[in-house]
Every structure is written in C-alpha cells, then in structure tokens.
A and B are shown apart, each in its own frame.
Chain A
Amino acid sequence: MFKYEKMLEYPINIRKKDLRMAKLLMAQLGGPDSELAASLRYFCQRYTMPDAKGKALLTDIATEEFGHVEMIQTMIYQLTKDASLKELKDAGLDNYFVQHKKGIYPVDASGVPFTVSYFQSTGDPIVDLQEDMAAEEKARATYENLMDLTDDSDLLAPLSFLRQREIVHFNRFKELHDDYKKNGLK
C-alpha cells in the first residue's frame, strides 16, 4: 500500500517560463530512461528478488523514483503554465497541445508516447539488477545532457539532485548485485 506525502522530495520553484526545456524534460518523464520507466521497472522486478535485502531495496528505490516522476512533472507544469498558444506553437509543442493541451502526459522529448517495452522483468535477479545498473547510468547521462542545455539555476538545482540520485542508486544496485554474485542466490 502506498501513502502520499504532500511535499516534493526536493523543492522546485521555477520562475522563468521555458518551453524548450519543458519539451526536453519530457525525456525524463516518458522516455526510455525516464523516471517512470525506472519506477515501474523496479516495482515489477521486486517480486522475484531472492532475499529480503533485494525486496527492500527495489521497493524503496521504486518508491523514490515515483517521487522523481512527480518532480519532473512539476518542472514541466511550472515551465508551461503561463505559456500562450503562440509560444507553444513556436516551441514546437503544438503537436503536443492538440492532444493534451497543457495536461501532463508521458511522452519522450520527440513526442513518442511512453511504453513499458522500455524495460524488462526477467525473473532472474542477476539479469534484472544488471539492467537496473545500466538504467541508472543511462538516466545519469540524460541528466547531464539536460544540464548542458540550460543555464537556469531553478532547473539546474533539481536536475543536479536527480543526477546524483542515479549515482547513489547505481551504487546500491551494484552492491546488491555483487553480494548475490559473491555469496550466491539464497
């Protein structure tokens, strides 16, 4: 069961409207290496983890990733909130607008809708954890690309936070993976 906490994991308050960045941030909402893919991936994989540590770690990281989905959605919402139709059109968001207006919908930076075929749940803990480690690294690289594309510190601060979380998660997955490799699956 889940309980909602009425706060973000990290405060977000974006003052400057930036539709270009809103469009690019979609990569981390509905893209292949997005927070949504990460969250669903770990939620699906946790059932076949071989011991208590694995079940706990995947549950906890999946839950945190869902909080990151909320952070990315908040950024996109705040970046687009005050945009006019003309501004959306100029930023190349008219094809988004025609189906969603300013609704938050998981697509990638090119407008391709989210699909669960972005991730696997193989039932094999070693295979799943190796996918998880790769996923964290891909998301880290995406955050670095996003950070290279903006100079707004209201955006850079949460992006830098989210990037560091990928590194922490990678390390925890790796530690669990190495533990299973070394000591065998219980």
Chain B
Amino acid sequence: MYFDERENYLDYVGEAVNNYIEVEDKDHNELNNHETYHFKNNKIYDINNININNYRDNMSIDLSMPKDALNKGGIFKNIYDPYKNYVYKVVVSGERDELLLKIQELTFAMKDLGLYLDVYPNNTDIFDIFKSYEKELKELKKTYEGKYGPLNSFDVEGSKYEWYLNPWPWDKGVN
C-alpha cells in the first residue's frame, strides 16, 4: 500500500490502547482471527484489519483549515503525504483574486469533506463542519458576484447579463 501506512499504524495503536475497555466475548480467552473489541465509542474493530481508514467514522479526525487544505491538496491531515517535502502556498494579489481565492478554499474544503461523507455519511462532526463552510461560502459568493459577475451561469446579482464576460479561468494573469 502506498498511502500513509506508517502514520496510520501508529495512530491506530494509540487509539486502540486509550479506548480499550473490554473483550467482547469474556469467555473466549484466546485470540482468533475474528476477535472483535468494543471501544468507548461503541464501534466494533476488527483487529486483523490494519487499514485504519475503515474506522475513522467517530474517531477524532485532524483537519487542516481551508487555506492550508488548498495549499496541501487535502483537508485530512492523516492522508497528507507530500512528495520530496515540496510544500507550496498559493499567493494571489488584488482584491478580486483574493476574494476568489477564499471561495476556492471553501469550495475545495467542502469538496474534500464531501468525498469523505460519501463513504462515511453518518459522521455528524464532519457534516457540521461541512454545513458551516457552506454558510460561509454562500455569503462570500454573494459578495463576489455582486462585484465581479456570476460564478455560475444561473446566478444573477447585477442588472445586466454578465456571465459571458472575461476573464475566464484559463486566461493568463488572473486567478
């Protein structure tokens, strides 16, 4: 496996030791291949499955802030794995581009949280963060669109049809 096996493994051991309460089957003293444990958060863990990502639902999950998440390419710290320690920070100049960057950061944070929620829809902690970003994003988009035109062809904030106007995202020199 390519991904952060090393980090996850350490994390898994830490969580397992701290949350351990009791072996589910008390009469069953020997470990077998299907041993399960109950932890404080009432989830059942298969100790033979080392892929900790299966059990992330109700564990504390470290998230980056949206700005940092966009720089890194992901909001979940546990699966961040930079190549040759290359780390970049997006810097833009000008009021329009700075506002757009904030929108991009929140859109990206929601996108990444959304992928997680697709697999773990019952994680209410993550969903609460998802909702709070949605609220923030809506406000920012309204401000942006009032000043610089629509981000979506169905959005109307001004008095004229402005969707077609330059700049388009691939134009040089704009964010």
Give residues in A with beta carbon < 8 Å to B.
3-14, 53, 56-57, 60-61, 64, 70, 73-74, 77-78, 81, 137, 140, 143-144, 147, 153, 156-157, 160-165, 167-172, 174-176, 178-179, 182
Contacts and interface: CB of A to CB of B under 8 A. Distances in A.
B73 A168 contact: yes
Nearest to A81: B172
A15 B32 CA distance: 61
B31 interface: no
A8 B169 contact: yes
Contacts of B108: 9-10
Given A3-B154, A157-B88, A161-B88, 14 more contacts: A3-B152, A6-B152, A8-B170, A13-B174, A53-B121, A60-B115, A147-B86, A161-B70, A161-B71, A161-B73, A164-B74, A168-B74, A174-B3, A174-B51
A10 B104 contact: yes
A53 B151 CA distance: 29
Contacts of A160: 73, 82-83, 86-88
Contact of A61 (B71, B104, B115, B175): B115
Contacts of B27: none
B139 interface: no
A71 B112 CA distance: 17
B2 A168 contact: no
A103 B172 CA distance: 16
Contacts of B97: 11
Contacts of A144: 83
Interface string B82-113: 11101110101000010011011001100110
B58 interface: no
A11 B104 contact: yes
Contacts of B152: 3-6
Contact of A7 (B87, B90, B104): B104
Contact of B119 (A53, A156, A170): A53
A131 to B, nearest CB: 16
A78 B90 contact: no
Contacts of A78: 170, 172
Nearest to B101: A11
B2 A167 contact: yes
